[in-house]
Amino acid sequence: DIVMTQSPDSLAVSLGERATINCRSSQSILSSSDNKNYLVWYQQKPGQPPKLLISWASTRESGVPERFTGSGSGTDFTLTISSLQPEDVAVYYCQQCHSSPLTFGGGTKVEIK
Amino acid sequence: EVQLVESGGGLVQPGGSLRLSCAASGITFKNYWMTWVRQAPGKGLEWVATIKQDGDNKYYVDSVKGRFTVSRDNAKNSQYLQMNSLRVEDTAVYFCAGGWGWFWDSWGQGTPVTVSS
């Protein structure tokens, strides 16, 4: 099984400042057949289901603000919120979609400092 | 507007059974891969099962293999999760999710399942 490890578990960032979340996979999730990284990011606000933010490691979903950026390749990935807004308070999860069983990182809780 | 609505959750004793349902609207259901993801109280997300468009290909996390069965009825725009031999550790909110592959852009609000004596 591919183990997904997120860091930090939580972080507090001032409004307008940058938040950086890391995600590491226990093996490469870069496909040699299509050169895509099989990594997605979700945002989950309290009492709500997850919302897909980014697919293929760096493709922002329709309607997702530009302040959300995904990067990385192979085994190391990053979700960056360039200027934290109040509505960004949430738990963020990475998920590998490279192979079954599909696995999630443990989540990173983002709060306002 | 895409809507996925789960039902069928509740309180059940260890060893018991439940059948969850998920009704979809606003999507071409027959084209979607459908999935169940669960979240134990205060914990993270765990993938449970996925069923491809035709209903013939099904995938499960090891911890539910042989106990849970995912199915779908494309004529009714619905998917189901039959859960047998339930354990305390199956207690979670169960989300129905849909997408074009192994990740999901549409989610329901979830239905809670509590396994307790």
* Model pLDDT for residues A77-103, shown as the tens digit of each residue: 999 999 999 999 999 999 999 999 999
Give the Cα separation of A12 and A41 in Å (integer).
19
Query: With a CB-CB cutoff of 8 Å, which residues 64-93 of chain A face chain B?
Result: 93
The reported pLDDT for the residue numbered B85 is: 98
Q: What is the pLDDT of residues A43-70, one digit of tens each?
A: 999 999 999 999 999 999 999 999 999 9
Closest CA to B116 of B87, B92, B93: B87
The β-bridge partners of B55 are: none
Q: What is the pLDDT of residue B74?
A: 96
Flag whether residue B102 sits within 8 Å of chain A, measured between CB atoms. yes
Check if the beta carbon of residue A40 is closer than 8 Å to that of residue A107: no
Contact criterion met (CB < 8 Å) for A100 and B104: no
The reported pLDDT for the residue numbered A76 is: 98
- A63: which residues sit within 8 A by CB, 6+ positions away? none
CA distance A103 to A54: 16
Q: Which of A102, A103, A108, A109 to mutate to test the interface with B (most CBs of B within 10 A)?
A: A102
* Cβ-based contacts of A104 with chain B (< 8 Å): 44-47
pLDDT at residue number A21:
98
Q: What is the pLDDT along chain B (117 residues), one digit of tens a residue?
A: 899 999 999 999 999 999 999 999 999 999 999 999 999 999 999 999 999 999 999 999 999 999 999 999 999 999 999 999 999 999 999 999 999 899 999 999 999 999 999
Q: Quick check: B59 and A100 CB within 8 A?
A: yes
